[in-house]
Chains A and B, each alone.
Chain A
Amino acid sequence: MSSRRRPRSLLAWVGGIAFSAAGLAWAIPMIWTLAVSLHPADEPLSASNLWAGSHPTLDNYRQAFDIAPFARYYLNTILIVAGILCVQLVTITLAGYAFARYRFPFQNVLLFLILAQLMVPSSALIVPNYTTVRQLHLFDTLLAVMLPYFGSAFGVFLVRQTFKTVPRALDDAARVDGAGWIRTLWHVYLPPARPALIAFAISSISFHWNDFLWPLVVTNSEASRPLTVGLAVFTQLGEIGAQWPLVTAGTVIVVGPLLVLFLIFQRQFVDSFLHSGLK
C-alpha cells in the first residue's frame, strides 16, 4: 500500500497546486475590477499603474450614480423578478396540481403543448414576441419584460413530479374531511413541495435577474430598464472612449449586492442550484 501512495501523492500535490492556481485565475478578474473601480479617474491606467492607483477613491461610484439611475434600475429589476416569480408560483402550482391530481380528456395533449416551451427557448422568439408587445401597447413597461415568462413549463413539470409523490391516502383523507380542492392543495400538497418550490424560486430569480436580450428589446427608458440593460447602456457611452475606473465602478454597483448575498447564503444557493437542475 505504501508503495502505491508515494507516486499518487506527487501527482496529487501537483494537481493541488494547479487547482489553487486555477482558483486564483478564476477570481482575479473580479478582484481586479474591484481594485480599478477605486482608481482615480484622472490617472491613466498603464502596465505600471494597474490597480487602485496612487490614491484610491470612491469618486467613480459617485460619478456613476450621477450618470445612471442605478437605484431605479435596482427597483425595476426587483419588481420584474418578484412579479414574474409570484405569477409563476401561482400558475405552476395550479397547473401542476391539475396534471398530477386529475384525469381529464386531452390532458396529455395539453401537457405536451405546455412542455413544448422547454424545446423552444424564448430568445429564439424575440421577433414575434416583440411584435406582440407592441400590439398590446406595452412597450417600455415592466409588464412587457415579465409577460412571456408568466407561464413556466419547467415549473409545471417540477410541480407535477413533486405532487405525484404525495400519497393518495392523504388526499383522500382530506376529502373525507370535506376539504375542497383549494384546501387540499394548500394543506396536503404544498407543504412537502416546499423544497422544490424554493429551488424553483431561486432558479427563476437568478435567470430573470440576469436576463439581458429580452429586456434590451422591450425597454427604452429608465421607467422599465433593469440592471443588465442599464449596465450595457452605461458601458456603451460611445463617443469618448473607455473610462475604466468609471465602468468598473458601474459593474461593481450592479454585481456587488449579488456577490454579498451569495457570500452570505452560499450553502442555500449551491443546494438549490443542484436541486433545480436548470438555470
Chain B
Amino acid sequence: MIMPSRARSVATALVGTLALVLSACSAAAPAAPSASSAAAGSAAPAVSAAPPKVALTFYFPVAVPGPITKIIDGYIAKFEAANPGITVKPVLSGGYPDTLTKIQTTIKGGGTPPDVAVLLSTDLYSLVDSGAIAPLDDEVKAAGGDTYLADFYPAFLANSRYQGHIWSLPFQRSTPVLFYNKDMFAAAGIDATTGPANYQQMVDDARKLTKPGTTWGLEISSDGIPYWLFQPFAIGNGTNVFTAANKVTFDSPKVVQALQDFVDLPSKDKVMPSGILQWANMPNDFVNGKAAMIWHSSGSLASILAQAKFKVGVGYTVGRVGYGAPTGGGNMYVLKGIPADHKAAAWKFMQFMSSADIQADWSIHTGYIAARKSAYDTAAMKDYVAKTPQAAVAPNGLQYAKAELATHDNAQVQKALGDAVQAALTGKSTPAAALQAAQQQADKILSAFKD
C-alpha cells in the first residue's frame, strides 16, 4: 500500500535534507584531500612536537581482479610505518583511460592533481604534452643514476625516457605470452618443452592441433586494443611499429608482412577462427580445450592455472624471425605542480613500491612481471617460481621485448593502428592498404607535434 501522503512527504524531506547535508560533507572531503585524509591511512595521531605530515594522494587503476585495494593498503601501511612523516591516501580511480583522463582534465581545469599515480607507460608523451608530470632526473641521480636504473629491466624502462629525461618508474608491467596446452601438444606429437620458436613453427604446430569442430590450434584476440597483440608479429619480424614519439612505421614492408602473417592465420592456414576475437573470452576457450594455444597477458597465468585441468605451458609470442613482444602495463609517475616536500615524499613512495621485495610480492599476487631483476632473487619469489615454474618464463622473455606503441596523442594513433588490424582481419581491406591508411592518419595527427 502507498504510504499516507503526509508521511511520505515528510520522509522525502528528511531523506532529502540528509542527502544534502551528507553530500555537502562529502563534497568538502575530496576537494580538500590533504588534512582530512590523514585519518584514513595511518593510525598514529599527530604528536605536538612532530613536524606536519606530508599527505600524499595516490591514484591507481585496477586492471586485474582480486583484492587489489587490500594489497595496496598493506603496502601503504608498511611504507607509512617506515616513514612516519608521510601518509598516503590511495584512490582507486577506475581503469587506465579513466585515470589518465581525470588527471589531465584536473590539470587543465586548474584543480589539484594527485601527487603520484599509476598510468600506462605509453601515456608518457600525452602527459608531457599536457604538462602533467615532473621529470625525475635529480631524484634518480641522487639514488645512484645509471647504477640504480640498471636493476630495472631495460625493456620496461624503454617507455620512461623522453627528451633526455627520466619520467617514471615501472610498477605493474606485463608482456603478451603464448599459453599452450602441453597435453594436446603431446597427443599431437609436438615437443612440449618450450613453445614454438618462430611464426612458421607456430603455424605448423597449430595445423597439427586444429581439429575442425572441436579445437582451434591458435586463438589471438583483436578487440579492445588490437595493436598490442599485433606488435609481436612486427617485433618478431625485426621491426617495431614506431621509431620516435612522432614517427610511426605502420606501412613499412616488414610491418605489412607482419599483418599479413596475422591475417593468414584464419584465412590461409585456417588455424584460428575468423573475425575479431574477444580478449575476455580467450582464457575461457583455452581452459575449455577449445584452443590449444592462445596469446594473452602474462598476468593471466594465475587464473588460467587455477582453472586448467591439464598441464599449461608458457612460451613467447613470435614473428617470422623469432621471439618478439611489446611490453604492457603501468608505471608510477610524479605529477607536476605539487610542493617540493610532496615531491620528495612521492619519490620515496615510488622507490618503496618499486623495491625488490614489494615488486616480488606484487608479482606473486597479481601476475604482473616484477619490474626489477633483483626481485627474482628474493626468497619469496624463488619459492613461488619453484612451485610455479611457468612464472619464470615471462621475465626471461623480456630480453626479446621492445617498447609498446607510444606517441603523442597516443589514443588516436593507437586507434588508427588498431582499426587497420581489424580491417585486415575482417577482410574489409588488405594489410597493405589498411596500414597505408593508418600511416597517413597517424602522420596527420603527429605532424602537429615537433620533437
Contacts and interface: CB of A to CB of B under 8 A. Distances in A.
Interface centre among B2, B23, B98, B110 (most CB of A within 10 A): B23
Interface string B254-291: 00000000000000000000000011111110011000
A238 B63 contact: yes
A21 B93 CA distance: 43
B300 interface: yes
B15 A236 contact: no
Interface in A72-88: 78-80, 82-83, 85-87
Interface in B53-99: 62-70, 91-96, 98
Nearest to A216: B98
A41 B13 CA distance: 44
Contacts of A85: 12, 16
A242 B224 CA distance: 13
Contact of B303 (A82, A201, A222, A243): A243
Nearest to A134: B109
Task: Indicate the size class of the contact surface on chain A.
Answer: 35 or more
B281 A268 contact: no
B26 A224 contact: yes
Given A139-B106, A220-B93, A220-B98, A240 B64 contact: yes
Interface in A7-22: none
B297 interface: yes
B306 interface: yes
A191 B8 CA distance: 12
B306 A42 contact: yes
A241 B281 contact: yes
A87 B95 CA distance: 33
A142 B12 contact: no
Contacts of B23: 79-80, 83, 141-143, 146
Contacts of A83: 16, 19-20, 23
Contact of B307 (A42, A144, A201): A42
Contact of A142 (B26, B63, B288): B26
Contacts of A246: 65
Task: Indicate the size class of the contact surface on chain B.
Answer: 35 or more
Interface string B324-342: 0000110000000000000
A79 B17 CA distance: 10
Interface in A44-96: 44-46, 66-67, 78-80, 82-83, 85-87, 89
A44 B29 contact: no
A2 interface: no
B422 interface: no
Contacts of A143: 23-24, 27
B102 interface: yes
A198 B66 CA distance: 42
Contacts of B31: 137-138, 141
B109 A89 contact: no
Given A83-B16, A237-B62, A240-B283, A221 B92 contact: yes
Given A67-B65, A143-B23, A82 B15 contact: yes
B80 to A, nearest CB: 20
Nearest to B68: A67
Interface in A158-202: 191, 194, 198, 201
10 contacts: A78-B19, A79-B19, A82-B15, A87-B16, A144-B27, A194-B5, A220-B91, A239-B297, A239-B299, A241-B282
Interface of B: 2, 5, 8, 12-13, 15-20, 22-24, 26-27, 29-31, 62-70, 91-96, 98, 102, 105-106, 108-111, 174, 224, 278-284, 287-288, 296-297, 299-300, 303, 306-307, 328-329, 367
- In order of increasing CB-CB distance, the 7 nearest A-B pairs are A86-B16, A134-B109, A242-B280, A83-B19, A141-B27, A142-B23, A241-B283
